[in-house]
Structure 1
Amino acid sequence: MILYPAIDLKDGKAVRLLRGDMEKATVFNDDPAAQARAFVEAGCQWLHLVDLNGAFEGTPVNAAPVEAILATCDVPAQLGGGIRDMATIETWLSKGLARVILGTVAVENPDLVREAARTFPGKIAVGIDARDGLVATRGWAEETDVNATDLARSFEDAGVAAIIYTDINRDGAMQGPNIEATAALARAVSIPVIASGGVSSLADLEALRDCGAGLNGAISGRALYDGALDLAEALAALKG
């Protein structure tokens, strides 16, 4: 199982939010590229990047720090937030991103997800962010009546590389991931699933690894910044 260190970008800085609330942002590093290098030096295999401003505004906002990370780090990176048309997808992939995450458009324009997955095989992931099982979009600001598992199943034949499932109520709260819901979604589809939201300890990672659902990976942010989770130790444990 792959551990994806998260770098969430707001106003050019690496931050963490509490349950997706932009008013509850903690700045952890003024230099996101330096933060990315630290994660890479600790041995991570992937980076998970989110343009928080872009998610709300519907267009990329934190392009400069993302490009700085891509220029300085030699591990693959995936990015979500404000990517809602083919031109933006193509632009980001041309800049060296390994994978683009489509969230809001997975609900609002699923045909775009399918077209992108066909055009860029292996490079398109679907981000499914849910509160109490129902999907939220546009930076988690808009609630929908779309069931998270139903949305995941709708892309079963689309050729997407992964589904990133975030339990919004757990995100940044340091209360542990929603293992039951994540495992249930992973069992419902054949698409690789990456868990996100609430991973706050080595025990959380091991519980996700051992849940029996064959998760592809887990994303962790605040726990790595706060020191509750040691990246090198976690990577060694997962590798072992």
Structure 2
Amino acid sequence: MILYPAIDLKDGQAVRLLRGEMEKATVFNDDPAAQARAFAEAGCEWIHLVDLNGAFAGTPVNAAPVEAILASVKVPCQLGGGIRDMATIENWLKRGLARVILGTVAVENPDLVREAARAFPGQVAVGIDARKGRVATRGWAEETEVMATDLARSFEDAGVAAIIYTDIDRDGAMQGPNIPATEALARAVSIPVIASGGVSRMDDLIALRDTGVIAGAISGRALYDGAIDLAEALKALAG
């Protein structure tokens, strides 16, 4: 199981939100590129990036810090937030992103996801963010009636590289991930599922790994707070 340290970008800084609420942002580093280097030096295989402002605006906002990160590390990075058309997808991949994450458009324009996955094999993931099983879009500000599992299944034949599943109520709350829901989703589809939201201690990572079906886990606040030591976690997961 791959551990993805997270850098969430708001107004050019690395922050963490509580349950997706922008007004409840804690700044952890005003130099996101330095944070990315620290993660890379600890030995991570991937870095997970989110343009929080972009998720609300519907277009990239934190392009400068993302570009600084890409210039600073050789570790592959994936990015979500505000990526809602083919031109933006192409632009980010040309700039060196290893993978784009499509969230809102997966609900509103699923044909774009399919087109992008065909055009860029292995470089397109779907972000599914849910409250109580129902998908939320536009920076989690809008709830839909679409169920997370149904949305995931709809992309089974699309060729997407991964599904990043976030339980919004757990995100940033340090209360542990929703392992049953994540495992159920991973068992419902053949697409690799990456867990996000609530990973707060080493035991959470071990529990996700031990399901045997979850391909990765994203952690942010726990790494910044020191609740999880990245180097130790990577070593334990590798073992």
- In structure 2, the residue matched to 1:162 is 162
Q: Secondary structure at the match of 2:84?
A: coil
Q: Secondary structure at the match of 2:59?
A: coil
Distance 2:20 2:140 in 1: 7
Distance 1:29 1:75 in 2: 19
Runs (4+) off by over 4 Å: none
Give the aligned residue type for 1:218.
Answer: A
- In structure 1, the residue matched to 2:235 is 236
Shift of 1:116: 0.2
- In structure 2, the residue matched to 1:110 is 110
- In structure 2, the residue matched to 1:150 is 150
- In structure 2, the residue matched to 1:93 is 93
Distance 2:63 2:45 in 1: 22
- In structure 2, the residue matched to 1:76 is 76
Give the aligned residue type for 1:227.
Answer: G
Determine if the alignment matches structure 1 residue 224 to structure 2 residue 223. yes
- 1:1-240 residue pairs with structure 2 within 5 A? 1-212=1-212, 214-240=213-239
Distance 2:111 2:206 in 1: 36
CA deviations on 1:150-188 (whole Å, 9 max, x unpaired) are 000000000000000000000000000000000000000
Q: Secondary structure at the match of 2:50?
A: strand
Q: Secondary structure at the match of 1:169?
A: helix
Shift of 1:215: 1.1
Aligned-residue identity in percent: 86
Shift of 1:101: 0.1
Shift of 1:216: 1.0
Distance 2:172 2:113 in 1: 27
Distance 1:34 1:139 in 2: 25
Supply the RMSD in Å over aligned alpha carbons.
Answer: 0.4
Distance 1:99 1:82 in 2: 14
Distance 1:132 1:229 in 2: 27
CA deviations on 1:20-73 (whole Å, 9 max, x unpaired) are 000000000000000000000001010000000000000000000000000010
Aligned residues: 239
